[in-house]
Amino acid sequence: MTLEDDLASAAATGNTAGVEDLLRKGADVNGVNKYGRTPLQVMMMGSTAVARLLLTRGSRPNVADRSTGTTPLHDAAREGFLDTVKILLEFSANPVAVDNSNCQPVDLARERGYGDVVAFLESL
């Protein structure tokens, strides 16, 4: 296990203190784990604390999944986490990124019926 593996796991479990600790130990906020993903790509989407921490430390917001083209904003929108959507945008996530199915984040939110996320993304 590398520090980046641990960082990705801490982000994925919403363990803010763990993320903080691993960054302090020198884990690369844009490094990938053994599955080729950055911590922001795999973070627990409902954890606004982890999202903000990673982004504040320079995590690149627009890294797309190598298999599906999905960005973190797509995931946050598809899962309906408006608060995380807002944080990602605050740190310059691309609101009109398209995944490999040619969908934008707003399309995924609409498909799942998350009216608040749709309204917000459409208001940009």
Partner 1 sequence: MAQGASFPYEQVAEIGGGAYGTVYKARDVESGKFVALKSVRVQTDQDGLPISTVREVALLKRLEQFDHPNVVRLMDVCAIQRTDQETKVTLVFEHVDQDLKTYLEKAPVPGLPPDRIKDLMRQLLCGLGFLHSNRVMHRDLKPENILVTSQGQVKLADFGLARIYSCHMALTPVVVTLWYRPPEVLLRSSYATPVDIWSTGCIFAEMFRRKPLFCGESEADQLGKIFEVIGLPSEEEWPKDVTISRKHFPPLFPRPITDFVPEMDEQGAELMLEMLTFDPLKRISALNALEHEYLKEEETPDTERESVAVP
**Residues interacting with partner 1, by CB under 8 A?**
5, 8-9, 11-14, 16, 33, 35, 37, 41-42, 44-49, 65, 67-68, 70, 74-75, 78-83, 99, 101, 108, 114
Of 95 and 114, which CB lies nearer to partner 1 in the complex structure? 114
Q: At closest approach, how far in Å is the CB of 90 from partner 1? A: 16
CB of 119 to partner 1, least distance (A): 14
Of 79, 35, 40, which is closest to residue 62 (Cα–Cα)? 40
Nearby residues of 13 by Cβ (< 8 Å), 6 or more positions away: 44
Residue 38 Cβ vs partner 1, minimum distance, rounded to whole Å: 10
Nearer to partner 1, 57 or 69 (CB): 69
Give, as one character, the DSSP assignment of residue 74. Answer: H
d(CA 120, CA 15): 28
List the structure tokens of 113. 């019926």
Beta strands in 10-122 (DSSP E): none
